[in-house]
Structure 1
């Protein structure tokens, strides 16, 4: 085994492959699902980059797709190195073990801190930014006790419950997920907390480019990573309409356990958690409720295996849509999300041909992919 190799059920990218992966995910209209389809179809990021313009044109793009330049990603890598961060790609040994099983797993993550915590079983703790003092104290107690039981605590580095969970688990291991670039902390007041996490042996991660200022639409994307990192997600105080409920929904869609702490019906900050309990979330009055439910699930973490080299190929597909099939697919798509399996049945085409037509529409900016795997057309 040469220098730098690590055991694990993983691939190992060369420097040029890593640059190509970063270029591909930074291109217009390329998200996690599209990235995976491109790698599947073309066998590598370099070949996918060459194919992007023609794919987007066939999908009806109104302008030429913008490709990230090699200079851009080399500058981003230099920035990462300067602040002590690095890039980890999907399938590599340092990629978070549980997150890589998620359908919308980010192909590339910027990581600052000790990547060892990313391989440990995790519990996500999320909740209100305007948390009550009682909520903050209980979140800290839960995080501390769950951490002592051997679980890393993951959260979104927000004010309130998130910050409390991170603070209480620095000693046992915590992962902070950012909605913007790692060099753009939000909120700014949590920058010292980020430093404490890194210095304390935890990790800060983000899928967003360096220099990226978090926008409203970026927080649900962050929430899916928080949910994907963990075996279970615990909500401590959340209003009826809140990002914490989005996190809980995403966790449920991923097959994670969802926990909630009950609260007073008179407190609006408890409305969301109480709603989750009505919908079947596991009631939590102490850390033992979470620990007992999750301990049997530790075995779901991927087992160590052989280290491979090169880019992964998943299920390569080469079928092209037959004459008229692209038009039929476009005709069937509307603003209401539909499943890809239903499209395949209606079009009576091969799954690979339908996936290629959807890929072309996606790269042209005409397709929206939903968290449950369904798709709709962008009007």
Structure 2
């Protein structure tokens, strides 16, 4: 019965997957912009066709579409290495990740058996993260927690970094563990963990990434990776997190995503414990044993999705079949230059709420949304949480 259910689940066609990939890889298109474009035009292909003109209207003379040849080459490389590109709404897409704010529309998943993807499809996932330059005691405790939690049926996810991440992955090898990459799915970082990663894949582990094949991670890519880690998890366990560590970024994402934050206390004399200790002061659960984690997480396991009541149900499942463009689309495409300029004049480098902008300009919402897309595709607009917008410095012409 389960197999029959899976077979009826929606899937993108090869043509649709190619269009989705081209759209998300095109200039100035991120997860949120992808969704706005999809909603406006009804399909990725229709959005692709409109991108150059939208960008021109926003003030950009030339626009770089991701070519069909490059998209086909990326897909071929993924399949060759035993990975595949999964779309939000497809069965293999991680269920917890689907409900975060602006989830990646496409996720590369690499596993020994890419047809099963059992690990990334589970809701019973916990993150264990912490210091790269961890202590022996910190690594030992990370291994203990990861091993115990794995034996209780939890899948452990981390970032394959040195220190705590590596210790957690090693202890969870036998039951399968997931690594989130800041670079492409083919780019193991750090390189010294190549052997560990190979062991993970051989033991039915998995890796995920939203970045292109061959992408070497930069410092600014790791927060995106951390957002995936917390987004795929019911909770995040921090061990030896310094005051300004990347682990605290993951904790902030976890808070935004309504996930549990669990921190292991450390000596106040050890700078590696300052961040975790402060989290406990601010309300994170204090963890001293596996039993502490199980007591906190057990009620969460049976909770139905979505975990975050602030996420619109429409964000959880996009249609797999292309839709007809909304009736308002053609009208908004004829928006006058006066309306467009009034929006640009109303914006500044100081973030403003979109609803306030709507009231101030008096422009119909569908028209305003498309004008904002035009400005964003031209590289002139920045979006801020929760629903604020600003012009990028130097783009107020």
TM-score by length of 1: 0.91
What is the CA-CA distance between 1:358 and the residue it aligns to?
Answer: 1.8
**Equivalence for 2:46:** 47
User: Which of 118, 121, 126 is equivalent to 1:119?
Assistant: 121
Question: CA–CA distance in 2 between the matches of 1:156 and 1:46?
Answer: 33
Q: Does 1:310 align with 2:321?
A: yes
1: CA distance between counterparts of 2:360 and 2:261? 35
1:74 maps to what in 2?
72
Equivalent pair of 2:143/2:170 in contact (CA under 8 Å) = yes
Q: Does 1:352 pair with 2:373?
A: no
How do residues 187-266 of structure 1 correspond to structure 2 at under 5 angstroms? 187-266=190-269
Contact kept, 8 Å, 2:236 with 2:262, in 1: the verdict is yes
**Secondary structure of the corresponding residue to residue 86 of structure 2:** strand
Distance 2:375 2:149 in 1: 45
Assess, with a 3 A threshold, how the Cα gap between structure 1 residues 197 and 315 changes in structure 2: closer, same or farther. farther
Partner of 1:130: 133
Match of 1:364 in 2: 378
Q: Which runs of 5 or more residues in structure 2 are unaligned?
A: 307-316
Q: Which residue of 1 aligns with 2:314?
A: none
Quick check: 1:107 aligned with 2:109?
no
CA-to-aligned-CA distance 1:216-272 (integer Å, 9 cap, x gap) = 111111111111101111111111111111111111111111111111111111111
Q: 2:296 aligns with which of 293, 297, 306?
A: 293
Is 2:93 the partner of 1:95?
yes
Q: Secondary structure at the match of 1:171?
A: helix
3-state SS in 2 of match to 1:288: helix
- Structure 1: runs of 5+ lacking an equivalent: none
The question of whether the paired residues in 2 share the 8 Å contact of 1:99 and 1:229 is answered with: yes
Report matched runs for 1:6-17 at 5 Å: 7=6, 11-17=10-16
For residues 136 and 197 of structure 1, do their structure 2 counterparts lie closer, same or farther at Cα, with a shift above 3 Å needed?
Answer: same
Q: Is the Cα–Cα contact under 8 Å of residues 12 and 308 in structure 1 kept in the other structure? A: no
Larger deviation, residues 109-118 vs 313-322? 313-322
Asked which structure has the greater RCO (Cα within 8 Å, sep 6+), the reply is 1
Residues 308 and 208 of structure 1, relative CA distance in 2, 3 Å threshold? closer
Give the match for residue 57 of structure 2: 58
Aligned counterparts of 2:325 and 2:259: Cα–Cα separation in 1:
24
Contact 2:41 2:325 survives alignment (8 Å): no
RMSD: 2.6
| Aligned CA distance change for structure 1 residues 109 and 309 (closer, same or farther; 3 Å) | closer
* Contact 1:98/1:228 (8 A) holds in 2: yes
Whether the aligned pair in 2 keeps the contact of 1:122 and 1:229 (CA below 8 Å) is: yes
Q: Is the Cα contact below 8 Å between 1:40 and 1:316 reproduced in 2? A: no
Q: Tell me if structure 2 keeps the 8 A contact 1:326–1:357.
A: yes
Comparing 274-283 with 15-24, which one deviates more in the overlay? 274-283
Q: Is the 8 A contact 2:181 2:208 kept in 1?
A: yes
Q: Secondary structure at 2:95's aligned position in 1?
A: coil
| Matched position secondary structure for 1:98 | helix
Distance 1:373 1:187 in 2: 36
Inter-partner Cα distance in structure 1 for 2:319 and 2:256: 30
**Which SS does the other structure have where 1:86 is aligned?**
strand
Aligned pairs for 1:10-49 within 5 A: 11-49=10-48
Q: Could you give the per-residue CA deviations for residues 174-229 of structure 1, whole angstroms, max 9, x where no partner exists?
A: 11000001111110011111111111112101111111111111111111111110
